[in-house]
Amino acid sequence: MRAIPGAWRRTARGAGLLGEDGSAAPTVFAEMSALAARTGAINLGQGFPDEDGPAEVLEAARQAIAAGANQYPPGRGIPDLRAAIAEHQERFYGLRLDPETEVLVTAGATEALAAVILALVDSPDDEIVVFEPYYDEYAACVALAGARLVTVPLRWPDFQPDPAELRRAVTDRTRLILVNDPHNPTGAVFARDVLDLVVELAERHDAIIVTDEVYEHLVFDGPHTPLATLPGAAARTLSISSGGKTFSTTGWKIGWVTGPADLVEAVLTVKQYLTYVGGAPFQPAIAAGLRLPDGFFTGIAATMRAKSRILGEGLRAAGFAVSRPAGSYFTVADAAPLGVEDAASFCRTLPARAGVVAIPLTAFATPERQDEYRTLVRFAACKRVDVLEEAAARLSRAQ
């Protein structure tokens, strides 16, 4: 077969997608979703909701299409959405932003992350510090950018980093410290002293802080504390979020990045050559969502907390040890009490044995740290209550 040249190899290796023979293996997410489709199993693997978000938001998108919002929007995003993002940051966090220069709309948080990393990293010696296990895009984009990924492990069962390990990871080579809080895949919310230490280390080593806060409204015992609100942080922090998780519109891909004008400008220079713009009719709809009353936001956090509890109890009843998530869609369970030694093979046979799909935590870890997460499994709780209860019942029967 002819060789396929290009950066895709770096991406794939970064994301752990290459098979042992160097061929492109499917991601475990694709493999598990295909298994779910083939076996009719309940998909607690991929994190997408199985119910629609707020009717006002959906209706606003329909109206925008009918009203002709179907051509290229402005490069930074429509003014109304940028204003709504700035209002949201002030209303919830007291952060004041200039919507003209300090807010950029992106094709989901995914593009925001890619554009930030590509924009702000330029040497193979540059290091990007992330917490591990991590959202798989991080490693892929760091590899694509030709930089080095440095990871700080989060350990079962509370998944808070060891301050000494965090201190060791950040050096003068560190360009970015990327903090996903609330955290996917573990459901952790970082303790205040961890956030303080991130700011201290970023200042000492002149690193930029990048946050991924897509679960900002799914903190169970809120409120959420954005890193940008900590003393000294705002001037060196780019904050990323998205409407996907908050409004159950993961297919819309409306995200944003906010922060100092010069950093946002740098990100824009890359973003404009990735997608240029996107989601014209969804932008006003997400603006409407961001302006929903407080009750909507406290409501989705309470609902997700209740669903996580139901999932957690079900997993415990089925014999797993279960961590206690503080936010996000996800719950991590340890299958070791069930005699499992390898969660990856456990997850491959789970659809046939129990009719449930889940993701092994090793899918979110570097090759060097596979062993630390060997028996851990990520389950998504962003499903209807009857679906979660049925999944729990199936898992109990299967043991």
Contacts of 91 (CB under 8 A, 6+ apart): none
Total binding residues for ligand PLP by CB under 6 A? 14
Helix (H/G/I), strand (E/B), else coil: 357? strand
Q: Nearest approach, Cβ of 380 to ligand PLP (angstroms)?
A: 10
Interface with ligand PLP, residue 346, by CB under 6 A: no
* Amino acid identity, position 371: D
Query: Near ligand PLP by CB under 6 A, which window of 105-113, 123-131, 285-293, 335-343?
Result: 105-113
- Residues in contact with 364: Cβ distance below 8 Å, sequence separation at least 6, in sequence order: 132, 133, 134, 135, 136, 185, 373, 378
Beta carbon of residue 135, minimum distance to ligand PLP (angstroms, whole number): 4
Q: Closest separation between CB of residue 124 and ligand PLP, Å?
A: 25
Residue 255 binds ligand PLP, judged by CB under 6 A: yes
- As a whole number of angstroms, the distance between CA 315 and CA 200 comes to 39
Stretch that binds ligand PLP, among 121-129, 237-245, 305-313, 376-384 (CB under 6 A): 237-245
Q: Which is nearer to ligand PLP, 253 or 374 (CB)?
A: 253
Options 26-34, 55-63, 108-116, 263-271: segment touching ligand PLP (CB under 6 A): 108-116
Is beta strand 321-322 parallel, antiparallel or unpaired with respect to 330-334?
antiparallel
Distance spanning both ends of the chain, measured CA to CA: 45
Site string for ligand PLP, 146-185 (x = CB under 6 A): ----------------------------------x---x-
Q: Does 242 bind ligand PLP (CB under 6 A)?
A: yes
Query: Is residue 362 a contact point for ligand PLP (CB under 6 A)?
Result: no
- Produce one character per residue of 257-296: b if its CB has 16 or more CB atoms within 10 Å, e if not: bbbbeebbebbbebbeeeeebbbbbbbbbbbbbbebeeeb
* Part of the chain binding ligand PLP (CB under 6 A), chosen from 103-111, 171-179, 193-201, 302-310: 103-111
Does residue 36 belong to the site contacting ligand PLP (CB under 6 A)?
no
Query: Beta partners for 209?
Result: 177, 237
Select 134 or 296, whichever has its Cβ closest to ligand PLP: 134
- Enclosing H/E stretch for 167: helix 163-169
Task: Using the CB atoms, write b or e for 145-155: b if 16+ within 10 Å.
Answer: bebbbbbbbbe
Please report whether residue 246 would count as binding ligand PLP according to CB under 6 A.
Answer: no
Q: Which is nearer to ligand PLP, 177 or 392 (CB)?
A: 177
The whole-angstrom separation of Cα 117 and Cα 279 is: 22
Confirm or reject binding of residue 110 to ligand PLP (CB under 6 A).
yes
Tokens of 387: 């679906």
Closest contact distance (angstroms) between CB of 187 and ligand PLP is: 11
Interatomic CA distance for residues 72 and 280, integer angstroms = 7
- Contacting residues toward ligand PLP, per CB under 6 A: 108-110, 135, 180, 184, 212, 214, 242, 244-245, 250, 253, 255
